[in-house]
Amino acid sequence: MKCPRCGSEMTLDSHRKIPLNMCYNCGYIEGRAVDDMSGKTNFERLQKLNINEMAAFLAAGLNIGEDKIAEWLAETMK
C-alpha cells in the first residue's frame, strides 16, 4: 500500500490492538486525515511544535517528567 501523503511504501504496524498501516518515512497512519504538511519531514513537523507540545512529546518518548523537559527547553531557548 502506498502512503497518500508522501507516496512511499507503508508498513503494517502490529504493535497496536488493531494493526494499522503506517508510513515510517513521513509518519502517516492509516485512517488519519492527510494534513497540509504533506511533503514535510518529521523534523520539519517538530519545528512547528510550541514549547509545551515539544515537552509533552519528549517526555512521552524518554519517560522523563514534563516539568524537567520544559525547564531544560526553556534554558536552551534563552
Domains of the chain, by residue range, sit at: 1-39, 48-78
Report yes or no on whether pTM surpasses 0.75.
no
CA distance 42 to 65: 23
15 band by pLDDT with thresholds 50, 70 and 90: confident
In the predicted structure, residue 13 carries a pLDDT above the cut 80: no
Contact by Cβ (8 Å): 52, 70? yes
Q: Are 42 and 6 in contact (CB under 8 A)?
A: no
pLDDT tens digit string along 17-56?
Answer: 788 888 877 777 887 665 555 667 777 777 877 777 788 8
User: Which of 57, 25, 49 lies closest to 38 in space, CA to CA?
Assistant: 25
